[in-house]
A and B are shown apart, each in its own frame.
Chain A
Amino acid sequence: MAKKENYKYEFAGLPIYDIIGKPLIAIARAQNMMSKEQLRTMLDACFKYHNGAYEPIMLKMVVTRSFLEPATKPGKGPELKMISTDFFLPMITIFPINALGIENVDIDFNVEITSQYMVDKDEIDEGGDKISAQPSSLECLGKITKGPGASGEDQEQSYENNSSFRIAVEAGTMPLTKGLLEIINIYTNAIQPIDTSQKNHQTL
């Protein structure tokens, strides 16, 4: 029977920029996923994919108004008549589409600096000669420790066993993208009355 060994090693820590950057990258990815999902929802509901292009689903609308027809025969007054006009609206201009996005992010953690070292940034050619000398920079490795509430002996204990990383994300509605607003604007401006006596136009 193989002897089980308990490997216990001291975790040296991660570069500080990794500790700070990773949650921000995760949030950016989450935002990206949300945007993709919303775009797909919009395309599925309001557009038809046809011959390699998305065509908006158009909705036939009717506008009705009354008008006074002048008297045609002497002795009779003007006659109130109704007139109906058809027009088409893209479905996307009717649904209240809101862009959901991450509005506020609150990241809270304590970092214990475990080690520091200087990084030499001198560029050296193949022969070993210095090409350029640049100032060295200080790099730090750190570990996330328990939250700011810990103190004294408890805190020391927490360094070994616990780490705490609190991220509060608030999502909210964002302004629609310029492209989507432009699509809606183009179709809104293209609303034109259609003569219903011409039956050759396509209707839904």
Chain B
Amino acid sequence: MTGEQSIQCPVCQTPILIEYKALIQGMRFTCGNCKASIGIASEAISVAKETMKKYDELKTQFRDGKKVNK
């Protein structure tokens, strides 16, 4: 798993390859067609990091076979 996803450029609809871990760290990605750059808004980075951490924890629990309590 490379962690590469693509999202459509909101300007020209060209798929933009993004690496979600870098995106969550605040990196911006540029559309190859219209050169628009996209990134997470600075105020949303903490939310993304928190969700990412939770997602990784759940994946670790799942991989190790631990019971996830809800």
* Residues of A near any B CB (own CB < 8 A): 37-38, 40-41, 44-46, 57, 59-66, 85-87, 89, 91, 93-96, 98, 173, 188, 191-193, 203-204
Query: Count of A-B contacts with CB under 8 A?
Result: 97
For A94, the chain B residues whose CB sits under 8 A away are 5, 7, 18, 20, 23-24, 48
Cross-chain contact B70 with A89 (CB below 8 angstroms): no
For B5, the chain A residues whose CB sits under 8 A away are 93-96
For B20, the chain A residues whose CB sits under 8 A away are 94-96
For A193, the chain B residues whose CB sits under 8 A away are 10
Nearest B residue to A98 by beta-carbon distance? B1
Kindly identify which residue among B1, B34, B39, B59 contacts A41, using a CB–CB cutoff of 8 Å: B59
20 contacts between A and B (CB under 8 A): A38-B62, A40-B68, A40-B70, A41-B55, A45-B51, A45-B58, A59-B47, A60-B44, A61-B38, A61-B39, A62-B41, A64-B28, A64-B38, A89-B7, A93-B5, A94-B24, A94-B48, A95-B5, A96-B1, A96-B2
Complex Cα distance, B54 from A66, in Å, reads 36
Complex Cα distance, B2 from A96, in Å, reads 9
* Residues of B near any A CB (own CB < 8 A): 1-5, 7-11, 18, 20, 23-24, 28, 34-41, 43-44, 47-48, 51-52, 54-55, 58-59, 62, 68, 70
Contact (A91, B43) CB under 8 Å given A96-B1, A188-B8: no
